[in-house]
Structures are given as C-alpha cells and as structure tokens.
Structure 1
Amino acid sequence: MPVDATAVGRPTYSHSLPNEPATAEIGRRLILDVLGIWQLDDLADPAALIVTELIANASRHTPCPDVRLIVRRPSTRRVRMGVVDREPSRLPVLGQAEYDDEAGRGLLLIDAVADRWGCDLYGLGRRPWAKEVWAELRTEAGA
C-alpha cells in the first residue's frame, strides 16, 4: 500500500489497521516508508521497534477491532509515533518483567529506546472515547 506523507509544514501520516499481532509487520513497513520520505532513515531501527511494541500492546491489551497508527513531526527535531485505540480506560503501565517472563517488556523496550513516551486521552470532559499511546525519537540534524 502506498504511503502518502508530506515533508513540509508539520507532516502527519495515519492509517487504520486491524488490531491483531500480524499488524505489527504492516506498521513496521509503514514507518520505514514514512521515515524514508522524510529522509530520516537513521531512525529506522528504533522506530520499527517502537511501532512493533505499540501495536503489540494494543492487540494484547484492548479488544478494539482496529487501531490507528499515527506518525507525525511535532517539530523538525522530533518524530512521534502513536497508536490510537478506543479503550481509554486501559492505560499503559510501565511494569517489571522477570527474567523468564514471556511478556511484559513492551513498554520497557519503548522506555529504553524512545526519548520520551506517554499516553493522551481523546475526548472532552470525564468521558474520553479513545487514547493514544505514543513515543518520540529525536532527529539528528533537525532536518
């Protein structure tokens, strides 16, 4: 599927995807395509890891049928990758994984690789309708 992302102003790319583990591969391809368009190929490895973990966490922890992958440049020095789902009551928690645990390391990996990460709720007042779990990487030259 072609990627249509602009490199001027404050570019954003987003795409709705099925909320399932296999979507991580699609997410990795999309982030690599967008970073290529923005000439930020040096961020490919950490960005692919982050997108993989964000999608895996959404598919593991939320029953939503789909998620939305959003990639944006909030400034020339940062790239933000986020996954939006419609389960705002299930907020991410940075946990501790034991040596032999088979799961529970996704946010730990994101925390180690990203410059910062967080979660934003969408909606007004006390009844948000969705959340976005996001992570940011700093660009080298701020191109």
Structure 2
Amino acid sequence: MPETEPSSWEYTLSIPNDPRAVTVCRRTLRLILTLHGLISLADTAELLAAELISNAVLHTKGPATLRVRYSPGVLRLGAWDANPEPPDPPRAFDHLTDAETGRGLALVRACADVWGWQPQSRNGNRGKYVWCELTAA
C-alpha cells in the first residue's frame, strides 16, 4: 500500500558561515519542494530563501539554519542566525535602483505573503529568526 503524503512537514538545514551555503540551500529547497509536489512554489521560494540565508551569512560570523515548514496551504521559510539584532527594515525599491546591496528584505516583503522576525536562541546561542510565508495555490 503506498504511503500517503503527510499534511505537514518540516526540514532544517544547518549551514556554516560560508557564501557557498546559499547555493546549497537553494538546491536543497528545490529538491524538497519537488519531492513534495510543490514545484510551482520553487522559483519564488528559492529567491526568498536565498535572500534570508544571504543576510544570515553576510551579516553574522556564526552558523545559520534554514528551516522549511509546510502546513496545508502555507509554506514557511525561515533563517536563524547568531546575531540577535533585528534586521534593518526593508527599503523601498525606488531608493535601491543603483544600490548594490540592501534589496534582500525589500524582495522578501514584495514576494512573500507575510514576513517577520523574532529573537530566538538555538543551541545556547542568542540570535534571531527571520521568516516569510508563501500560500500554496
């Protein structure tokens, strides 16, 4: 008898502070979504996860974690990093036309249905968790 798809699932990927980790996260996320039949969310989810993980890698010195969670109809992506300071608020795109950095959270705000952050400890390290959600159609 075939197994039925669970209604909810979660994956966690712990990564070192290494810029190559962004590519690892994107590819792993695409595989997860493909295997769970959510390929229609993959392009946007990859963009959002890459922005969240890029910020974690670029703005902290410690490890980071990508968390991918699905509950019926909602995909939540989150990145934990070891910096407890809140993320800078997203800037408006019209102020970013010539900027080489600073677009990350503006993209997250524009592409996600909802996003936020919260202080969070992991393995005894203080940090923050920045997350966003996509509605599965």
TM-score range relative to shorter protein:
0.7 to 0.9
Structure 1 position 91, deviation (Å): 2.9
CA RMSD of aligned residues (A): 1.8
Q: Deviations over 1:60-108 (max 9, x none)?
A: 21121x11110001x2010001111121124342124432111110111
Query: Which one of the candidate residues 110, 113, 125 is aligned to 1:112?
Result: 110
Q: How does 1:73-92 map to 2 (within 5 A)?
A: 73=70, 75-92=71-88
The reply to whether residue 27 of structure 1 matches residue 29 of structure 2 is no
Name 1:3's counterpart in structure 2.
none
C-alpha change, 1:56 and 1:43, in structure 2 (3 Å) is same
Structure 1 position 55, deviation (Å): 1.0
Q: Which amino acid aligns with 2:8?
A: R
User: Where does the alignment leave 5 or more consecutive residues of structure 2 unmatched?
Assistant: none
Q: How does 1:21-100 map to 2 (within 5 A)?
A: 21-64=19-62, 66-73=63-70, 75-96=71-92, 97-100=95-98
Name 2:130's counterpart in structure 1.
133
* TM-score normalized with structure 1 length: 0.82
> How many percent identity over aligned positions?
36
Name 1:11's counterpart in structure 2.
9
Structure 1 position 130, deviation (Å): 2.1
Q: Which amino acid aligns with 1:69?
A: L
Q: Is the 8 A contact 2:13 2:25 kept in 1?
A: no
Deviation >6 Å, runs of 4+: none
Q: Which amino acid aligns with 1:132?
A: Y
3-state SS, counterpart of residue 129 of structure 1: strand
User: Where does the alignment leave 5 or more consecutive residues of structure 1 unmatched?
Assistant: 1-5
* TM-score normalized with structure 2 length: 0.85
Q: Deviations over 1:20-47 (max 9, x none)?
A: 2221110101111111122100001000
